[in-house]
Amino acid sequence: MNKSIEEDQMKISRQAKIVELIGRYQIETQEELCELLNKEGYEVTQATVSRDIRALKLTKVVAPNGKQCYKFITDTQELSQKQINILRDGFVSCDMAQNLLVVRTAVGLAQAVAASIDALSFDEVMGCIAGDDTILIVTRTMDDCLEVMKKLRKIVEEGRDAGRT
């Protein structure tokens, strides 16, 4: 078998095991994840685990015990509350032109808000570019742009509604 194909299969297998492990255990550090992978028969270094964490887009969330642990985010409700708060606090307005969405933010917060939007991993978003107080979001279609605008406004409105109670 081709060495490259073998390496790809090993990587896929290892990353699937990582998702399984973080679903089963509250893993707080890369070192802890390395130890568990090694016990499962995967010979890994911290550098490999770090690359896998980035590739899988894992994030740290606060666990019920108050400690931070890795989590595979599949839903905006599970997104780190910190990222949601950054989006809500920095968001001023949004408007669209064809498949382009322009998001206005508080001065100096565009980069942070764009990072939060990227973390949401909306399928409709092709990419974001952030300035000082403006973010340009590129989508494939006008319908995609409308959907992203709807999702962002929903997140922001949920925060405002929660603040009123």
113 and 54 co-located in one domain: no
Q: Please tell me the total count of domains within the chain.
A: 2
Looking up residue 13, the CATH number of its domain turns out to be: 1.10.10.10
pLDDT recorded at residue 10: 85
Domain boundary among 54, 72, 90: 72
Domain that includes residue 137, residue range: 81-164
pLDDT recorded at residue 64: 74
Q: What is the 3-state secondary structure (H, E, C) of the chain?
A: CCHHHHHHHHHHHHHHHHHHHHHHCCCCCHHHHHHHHHHCCCCCCHHHHHHHHHHHCEEEEECCCCCEEEEECCCHHHCCHHHHHHHHHHEEEEEEECCEEEEEECCCCHHHHHHHHHHHCCCCEEEEEECCCEEEEEECCHHHHHHHHHHHHHHHHHHHHHHHC
94 and 154 co-located in one domain: yes
Looking up residue 144, the CATH number of its domain turns out to be: 3.30.1360.40
Tell me the pTM: 0.53
Domain boundary among 51, 72, 93: 72
63 and 98 co-located in one domain: no
Domain boundary among 48, 72, 96: 72
85 and 156 co-located in one domain: yes
105 and 60 co-located in one domain: no
Hey, which residues does 105 pair with through a beta bridge? 91
pLDDT recorded at residue 165: 42
Token digits of residue 108: 């100096």
b/e string for 90-104 if b means 16 or more Cβ within 10 A? Answer: bbeebebeebebebb
At residue 51, what is the residue type?
R
95 and 145 co-located in one domain: yes
pLDDT tens for the chain, 165 residues: list them: 567 778 878 888 898 889 889 888 999 999 999 999 999 999 999 999 999 988 887 888 777 777 888 887 655 455 567 778 888 888 999 999 999 999 999 988 888 888 888 878 888 999 999 998 999 999 999 999 999 999 999 999 887 666 544
